[in-house]
Amino acid sequence: MAPSASVRNRKGHASEPARTAEPVAIIGMRGRFPGANDLDQFWTNLAEGVESISILSQEEIKAAGIPEQISRLPGYVNASPVLDGVDQFDAQFFGFSARDATLTDPQHRLFLETAWEALEDAGYDPAQVSGPIGVFGGSELSTYLYHLYQNLEALKYVDGMQLMVTNDKDHLCTQVSYRLNLRGPSVVVQTTCSTSLVAVSLACESLQARRCDMALAGGVTVRVPQRAGYFYVPGSILSPDGHCRPFDANAQGTIVGSGVGLVVLKRLSDALHDRDNVRAVILGTGLNNDGNDKVGYTAPSTRGQAAAIRAAHALAGVSAESFGYVEAHGTGTILGDPIELSALTEVFRASSERRGYCGIGSVKSNFGHLSCAAGIAGLIKTVLSMEHKAIVPTVHYTAPNPAIDLASSPFYVATQLIPWERNGTARRAGVSSFG
């Protein structure tokens, strides 16, 4: 799946094509990412160009259960984007017994905690909201369940149904709806790397169709153990040195980490009426699939990506000329980045011949690929950039990938924190996430 969202802040208007979708306001958001357990620290890391990837010691790798004869093999990369506090959970607050909390995948725990925090950021107590609140999100395959099965003897008797409810992807969103007493649609989304932005797109559609009056949308990935490296295989998407370099001449791949993020959404007209804190406005989203129009199942497609981006622009009723920034999928892979820039350039060139006027970046340069939480990390980064009126640097960027004709494209890559000027229009951005 390949969603692309057109997002802008609420101030500023320009003459644009007719909008075909009701705008949706982002009125709250929360996230926890490698190196940042709150969004204030997240913004500081972004603004200062901090890379939050840990280089692991042999002691840490051994403690994670990786035998030394494995970790010392050529090709083993001792790096990991670590998310702090995944073993902590306020079980009593959410009505869990200690045993139930122990049996629950950290992905479910973090998603539930972050859902509460996002509603709190929006200024809403779910017990005091009369209308239906939807929940849309997704998680990765539970690696925690594997460790539970390895320790069944220590856990004594464990019911199979209980393990399924506390670890299976299907129960991620409905657990949130149950624990917080939310009565809108509760939908688990699974589209691999694009999961969290597809969740946002479906949440917008649910709000526009009046199926709910408010919605939580996002994603979570927590892989355990976290302090473990990985094997580099030539030709794979993984980086040989544990660093991710989107758009750069030295780009060789990405690294996979853990994170969680959710946004609280509301129809813009309702948000303004209720005097909510509108942090940004989603004007339109695009969602599609490539079919078999690519060299392989996991490969990207220029035509498919361009179609999704073009659909988002059309639904939003905006021209590419009005964009000041694009938060790209930007995996730093040899194949992926050139295809993504080609697709973006194709869409932008339909309405503008200008060069180098629109910033482009990827949060993966800060901490790698967060899988099901990757898209929401990029969306939250973009909203923070709008609020701080600044475009942040892309870490490790020194020179453009020779397969990308950046000089004749509409885009430039920021290497330091720079002001995001309005230039007479709204601050507007696109956010892409491709699965």
Q: Helix 172-180 vs helix 106-122: angle between axes, to the nearest 10 degrees? A: 50
Does the domain spanning 4-430 belong to CATH 3.30.428.10?
A: no
pLDDT in tens, 183-210: 999 999 999 999 999 999 999 999 999 9
Distance CA 142, CA 223 (A): 8
pLDDT in tens, 223-248: 999 999 999 999 889 999 999 999 99
pLDDT at 102: 92
DSSP state of 32: E
pLDDT at 2: 45
Residues of the chain predicted below pLDDT 50: 1-3, 10-15
Residues 6+ apart with CB under 8 A from 102: 155
Its pTM stands at 0.94
pLDDT at 44: 98
pLDDT at 13: 42
Phi and psi of 228, rounded to 5°? -135, 145
pLDDT at 293: 87
Of the candidates 412, 291, 304, the one whose C-alpha atom is nearest the C-alpha of residue 361 is: 412
pLDDT at 14: 41
